[in-house]
């Protein structure tokens, strides 16, 4: 009897890329900043004409601070987590916004998904727990997205624990 093909056994059952949600796109950010800068310029013009020129500088500082805050937010949105589950292995890779990667590998039979639920706010925390090791997953997701991921992943984990199907 021939051994099962290792590629067949190690096929991904579940693959997910989790990334932080950003409701403002880069083009919308440019529009928002332009409108904010124009409103700031129009509002500061009377102060400039009255000789209170320091007010203009502070209103310009507001525009600059808004720009830097959104740039920091867009930079942070480059972080993501990659989850890959097969019958033989669960692999979690967390990539920071700066590109630094941390990777964990678990055997699906020994890992469980731990959920912290709040009665009012929903799913607060998800963690992969195996043999005393705990790794938080999707910390940047909102409660609804965490719950959806947890439901999908739990079903995939059940499938992985059943083992390979050869028929």
Looking at the DSSP assignment, which residues form a beta bridge with residue 106? 90
Sequence spans of domains, the chain: 26-76, 82-162
**H or E element at residue 82:** strand 80-86
pLDDT in tens, 3-26: 555 555 578 899 999 998 888 888
Distances (CA, A) of 22 to 75, 78, 80: 11, 10, 13
Tell me which residue has tokens 């965490």.
Answer: 146
Q: Are 110 and 130 in contact (CB under 8 A)?
A: yes
Distances (CA, A) of 99 to 84, 108, 109, 117, 118: 19, 27, 30, 31, 32
* pLDDT of 2 over the 50 cut: no
Quote the mean pLDDT of the chain: 89
Whether the model clears a pTM of 0.85, i.e. scores above it, the answer is no
CATH 2.60.40, domain 82-162, yes or no: no
CA distance 3 to 149: 34
pLDDT in tens, 13-61: 999 999 988 888 889 999 999 999 999 999 999 999 999 989 999 999 9
């Amino acid at each position: 009897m021939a051994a099962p093909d290792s590629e067949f056994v190690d096929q991904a059952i579940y693959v997910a890329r989790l990334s932080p949600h950003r409701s403002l796109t880069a083009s919308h950010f440019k529009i928002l900043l332009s409108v904010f800068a124009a409103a700031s310029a129009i509002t500061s013009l009377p102060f400039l004409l009255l000789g209170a020129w320091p007010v203009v500088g502070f209103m310009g500082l507001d525009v600059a601070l808004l720009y830097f805050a959104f740039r920091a937010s867009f930079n942070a949105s480059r972080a993501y987590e990659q989850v890959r589950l097969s019958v033989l292995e669960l692999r979690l890779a967390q990539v920071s916004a700066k590109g630094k990667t941390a990777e964990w590998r678990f055997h699906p039979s020994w890992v469980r998904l731990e959920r912290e639920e709040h009665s009012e706010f929903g799913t607060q925390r998800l963690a992969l727990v195996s043999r005393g090791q705990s790794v938080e997953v999707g910390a940047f997701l909102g409660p609804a997205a965490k719950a959806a991921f947890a439901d999908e992943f739990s079903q995939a984990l059940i499938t992985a624990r059943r083992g390979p199907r050869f028929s």
